[in-house]
Amino acid sequence: MLNQILSKVMVRLSSLKITVVCLFSLFVLVFVGTLAQVSYGIYQTQQRFFLSAFVWFDTGLGFSIPIMPGAELIGSIMIINLVAAIWTRNLLSVKKLGLGLMHVGMILLLVGAWITSAAGIESQMAIKEGQTATYSESSRVNELVFESSLNETQNKEYVISQDYLEKNTLVEDIQLPFTIKLLKVWPNAWLRRTSDLDNSQVKGLGQSISVAPKPLATQDNELNFFTVKIEILNKEGGSEGIWIVSRGLGAKQTVIIDDVSYDMSIRSERYYYPFTIKLKDFTHDVYPGTQIPKNFSSLVELNDSETGENRDVLVYMNHPLRYRGHTFFQASYGENNTLSVLQVVKNPGWTLPYASCLMISFGLCLHFLIKLAAFSNRQRKKVKG
């Protein structure tokens, strides 16, 4: 009984109609997503169309409605559809192994995309010649940081990600020596210096600043002025004051809690590494007599105190530095060729698309050979018959 119900459900799920609908939806999604890049920019389009289960439309009435499935939902349905197809058609049997491998390859491709979107991180590391970098920064996401001096050479940083600040109203943590109450969060804001508002309850720079919401930046060279209005409470629950902290404020603001001074600010989200990278030399070659770039390269010194690794690496086009799960590509430069910007990519699923392509190609060849063998067998029988 159970077997029969299960079989029926699996047959439904493996329907070719679902496959066609999914492929068509993907086609529409890619088309609409491409057009949407004009008004939303590439980052927002990726988030709204490809890294979400639904594409939401803001009705302007305070709520949003889903208007079409996003790539996450379509991908999930396709995986279920492929698994069901393998099951019902017994594609892993010897005779159908070619088809089976192609299906598994497809599943691997989709799972790879999922891993990349969920766990992949892209950031940028800007290093001046002669300087050493220990972290890279996100070009899109921000974080709230409280820095206190630990000793003469070290600082302690308490960092809360933008994502966490947007989803919570209270930041309380055993590691944090105070509690942060989020009174208001602006993903992007206009800041205006003014004296016409009653901001007397706000301390610091925010006292003479009015904040108004601003649509999210769409262009790559625009910054979002992520801004928060926070109340800091000491461990006894007493208020230490209200502050406005914004990416748009150049300066750090100081708050003193239990005789410890903390510099607070909002900065690009940072990723610290257990190794350091020093830029020894940046070279920007042009074709003689022109300004056409021929080659950009960064000579860096990699130093890892944990593994004892210390070596020089030349990073240039198509020759990134790969180290401990991170890939460093030459991305940009500046300040009269004394500053190099490396794009740092961490993608735990980077091998999956290669494995999947190999599997699909191998599956196709195998299926062709199996069919060819069956066909020649039949021909031979015909001739004999």
Partner 1 sequence: MYECANSYVDMNDRNIKYRVAGVLFLVFILIGFSGCEKQAGVQVYTVAKPEVQLKLPTQSDLTWTKPSSWKELDASGMRIGSFSIEGTNSQQAQVSIVRLAGSAGSLLANVNRWRGQLRLESMSSDELGSVVSERKIGSASVNFVSLESKVSLAQDNVLSKMVVAIIRKDSGSLFVKLMGPSKLVSDNEVTFNQFVASIKHK
Task: Residue 193: name the closest of 250, 135, 128, 268 by CA.
Answer: 250
Binding segment for partner 1 (CB under 8 A), chosen from 194-202, 214-222, 306-314, 375-383, is 194-202
258 binds partner 1 (CB under 8 A): no
299 binds partner 1 (CB under 8 A): no
Q: Looking at 42, 57, 156, 335, which residue binds partner 1 (CB under 8 A)?
A: 156
Distance CA 140, CA 145 (A): 16
Per the CB < 8 A criterion, the answer to whether 243 and 203 are in contact is: yes
C-beta of 114: minimal distance to partner 1 in Å? 5
Q: Which is nearer to partner 1, 294 or 371 (CB)?
A: 371
127 binds partner 1 (CB under 8 A): no
Widest Cα–Cα separation across the chain? 101
137 binds partner 1 (CB under 8 A): no
Q: How many CB atoms lie within 10 A of CB 156?
A: 13
| DSSP per position, 5-44 | HHHHHHHHHT-HHHHHHHHHHHHHHHHHHHHHHHHHHHHH
User: Edge-to-edge strands of the sheet including 170-171?
Assistant: 170-171, 179-186, 227-233, 239-246, 202-203
Strand ranges, E, within 195-252: 202-203, 209-213, 227-233, 239-246
Task: Residue 185: name the closest of 157, 138, 219, 225 by CA.
Answer: 225
195 binds partner 1 (CB under 8 A): yes
Residue burial 309-348, b: 16+ Cβ < 10 Å; e: rest: eeeebebeeeebbebeebbbbbbebeeeeebbbbbbbbbe
Q: Which residues pair with 124 in a beta bridge?
A: 137, 343
216 binds partner 1 (CB under 8 A): no
Q: Which is nearer to partner 1, 85 or 233 (CB)?
A: 85
336 binds partner 1 (CB under 8 A): no
119 binds partner 1 (CB under 8 A): yes
C-beta of 111: minimal distance to partner 1 in Å? 7
Binding segment for partner 1 (CB under 8 A), chosen from 56-64, 244-252, 298-306, 330-338, is 244-252
Binding track over 6-45 against partner 1, x by CB under 8 A: xx--xx----x-----------------------------
Q: How many CB atoms lie within 10 A of CB 2?
A: 6
Size of the site for partner 1 (CB under 8 A): 57
Q: Looking at 153, 221, 291, 336, which residue binds partner 1 (CB under 8 A)?
A: 153
Cα Rg, the chain, nearest whole Å: 28
Q: Which is nearer to partner 1, 119 or 260 (CB)?
A: 119
Binding track over 60-99 against partner 1, x by CB under 8 A: ------------x---x--x---x-x-xxxx-----x--x
115 binds partner 1 (CB under 8 A): yes
Catalog residues that contact partner 1 under the rule CB under 8 A: 3, 6-7, 10-11, 16, 72, 76, 79, 83, 85, 87-90, 96, 99, 107, 111, 114-115, 118-119, 121, 131-132, 134-135, 149-150, 152-161, 163-164, 171, 173, 175-176, 193-196, 205, 208, 249-251, 269, 272
